[in-house]
Chains A and B, each alone.
Chain A
């Protein structure tokens, strides 16, 4: 669609005038190429943008302003073209200058976008020191404790992706470690916090199946129930909540489960899916 419009613009120019228009035509073609390139760059930026990066918000706003100003300029050029077509006198030079002004704006916008993209790329490389280990003795590389602590830190600071990696890592290395069940449960917790309910359900299910004798099963059952509720799987959610109350009557999760069952059981209120607010 854009190409048709630009083609029409070019046609209008060509039908209008003497051969001195050649420069204008080239400029317009360059302009259209620049605009397409700019759109591509914006798309790339959108892709890379993914995570939560605070300071770039104002830059995006400024970029929007620039695009709006460019919009106005292009409208002006368009009006100039209309006057041309209707027989009014319009200077070739003036039109060329308008187009040059637009090109300049586009160049500046392109420079801003690449600077932005550069900033984003820069921020993504994160480094953390590894603590000193005692010489000799526990030369395991990094101990199970350290790895778990690291992962837990990431979980509570909101680095859910990283936390999931680290907990998974822990489980690979120490499948029978003392914190294995907790690690698996934390993986479920991480997914849950990102509203990734199918993955959360899978993770919690593994706690229940692989670590059946651990003290994390009650929590896993309850949270799996909540995740199922979020997926509108009410029947299985109720089943989970009931299991908690049956198998772990003294666990704190049982009280919570009972409340859930009440809300579901009355049927008067539609059960509200527990949607977590994300940052």
Chain B
């Protein structure tokens, strides 16, 4: 692709982006192999209509910096709450025209006059003073006319987004009665080419705050998170051959995983954080799946098959592994086996070409990408473990690959080249709330991190 074409695409993209963010994509044509519909989006007992009033400045003094912060906060909060999929967001054009800060600012009779009944309302203030950002936020129960809960959140002046994410997570947690933790503070690791090399980057789930994790100027691929984000494993060509690299995410130190100087790929750390499964070349010349400790000791071949075995993923129980293999003749298919390699079962009866399986956090689904043989583009599918029911999740004109589950099991991240170069997309499982979250360079292979265990929560 010529440079000009790329530039044109980038321009088009930047124009299209705001449209993409606010509009919902129409649901994809469903391709199922059974008549009963699979419910993908569990909703709480009743529909929650949530109104998010703009936060106000805490004091009368006008500052450009504070105005910027407020604008960002309101936008981020809105996006986080919409993306959670738990709420029907009440459009701001309907709100009474006066600012809401304290409980006494809410005139319930004005809200009752709306064409819909708002269930909850969030409002609050933001203050920027002496290098400290302070937010004071509340959720009001619009039926009971009381404050349900509130929080004072503080941070540095450059942490507006983090503070908004924190509040969004608190709202999701409280309004789902603690059954679901919000994902607004989760991270996505991915492989990014911005020049000659592909480095591993980590970003906020919404695409902001992109930070390079590797800096070795070679190709770094297929990142994988350890349990509770303790580690990041990936494949690196920094020595010239594809080797497994495992780093602590807490302090960035490298785990002494051995180098094989042949071919090692697609690492996946077990749910208990003690073992890692990966693809490794055997003396035969093919690639088998091996399991070892995190430091490489006690290594066992669990597939021992002359076919190519790659792309393993653990079940959350740690007792099963799903992987891709061409042992069934020709193209790559998805299989499941026990963690010792026994009891191999094939997932899909159809032929075609499938890879990159990802096990859902509740253990019930496998996401993967699949295409009928010899067509050019993959789409994302999910298969129900046990029943084998298949559901198609994407149906774009491009190739959608490499799915990753959010830790709440309700969202998917994947890479797609539907708009030109491959970029990372996120969406709810039913295809709504689709967002493109990268745009610079070529971005592939997303891995969605888990919840962080935080001492700052109380």
Q: Which residues of A come within 8 Å of B, CB atoms?
A: 30, 34, 37, 59, 62, 103-104, 106-108, 110-116, 118-119, 121-130, 132-133, 135, 139-142, 150, 161-162, 164-165, 168-169, 172
Contact = CB atoms under 8 A, between A and B. Distances in A.
Contacts of B149: 129-130, 132
A118 B104 CA distance: 40
B458 interface: yes
A115 B251 contact: yes
A213 B448 CA distance: 61
B52 interface: no
9 contacts: A107-B238, A110-B215, A116-B251, A116-B252, A128-B151, A161-B131, A161-B132, A165-B127, A165-B130
B151 A133 contact: no
Contacts of B299: none
B387 to A, nearest CB: 41
Given A130-B138, A172-B59, A125 B215 contact: no
A115 B249 contact: yes
Given A119-B250, A162-B132, A126 B456 contact: yes
A163 to B, nearest CB: 11
B41 interface: no
A164 B127 CA distance: 14
Contacts of B159: 121, 124-125
Interface string B348-371: 000000000000000000000000
Given A111-B215, A115-B252, 10 more contacts: A59-B251, A108-B254, A114-B211, A119-B251, A121-B162, A122-B454, A125-B159, A126-B456, A127-B458, A140-B102
A119 B251 CA distance: 8
A129 B151 contact: yes
Interface string B130-164: 11101010100000111101111111100100110
A135 B145 contact: yes
B103 interface: yes
Contacts of B134: 165
Contacts of A126: 153-155, 456
A133 B59 CA distance: 22
B34 interface: no
Nearest 6 interchain pairs by C-beta: A115-B252, A130-B150, A141-B102, A112-B252, A125-B155, A111-B252
Contacts of B212: 114
A122 B452 contact: yes
Contacts of B214: 107, 111
B101 interface: yes
Contacts of B166: 125, 127
A106 B254 CA distance: 12
Contacts of A124: 155-156, 159
Interface in B292-346: none
Interface in B182-214: 211-214
A59 B144 CA distance: 50
B129 interface: yes
A70 to B, nearest CB: 14
B253 A114 contact: no
A13 B159 CA distance: 47
B146 A135 contact: yes
Contacts of B253: 62, 108, 112
Contacts of A161: 130-132
B217 interface: yes
Interface residue SS majority, chain A: helix
Nearest to A134: B146
Interface residues of B, number: 53
Contacts of A172: 59
Nearest to A131: B150
B248 interface: yes
Nearest to B158: A121
A53 B149 CA distance: 29
A118 B248 CA distance: 13
B214 to A, nearest CB: 7
Contact of B104 (A30, A113, A140): A140
A104 B156 contact: no
Contacts of A130: 136, 138, 149-152
B130 A127 contact: no
Contacts of B32: none
A128 B153 CA distance: 6
Interface string B411-445: 00000000000000000000000000000000000
Contacts of A59: 251
Given A140-B104, A164-B130, A127 B153 contact: yes
B146 to A, nearest CB: 5
Contacts of A110: 215
B361 to A, nearest CB: 22
A141 B252 contact: no
B354 to A, nearest CB: 33
Nearest to B103: A139
A118 B154 contact: no
Contact of A125 (B146, B153, B213): B153
Nearest to B134: A165
Nearest to A103: B216
B65 interface: no
Contact of B150 (A37, A129, A139, A169): A129
Given A119-B250, A141-B104, A127 B215 contact: no
A165 B458 contact: no
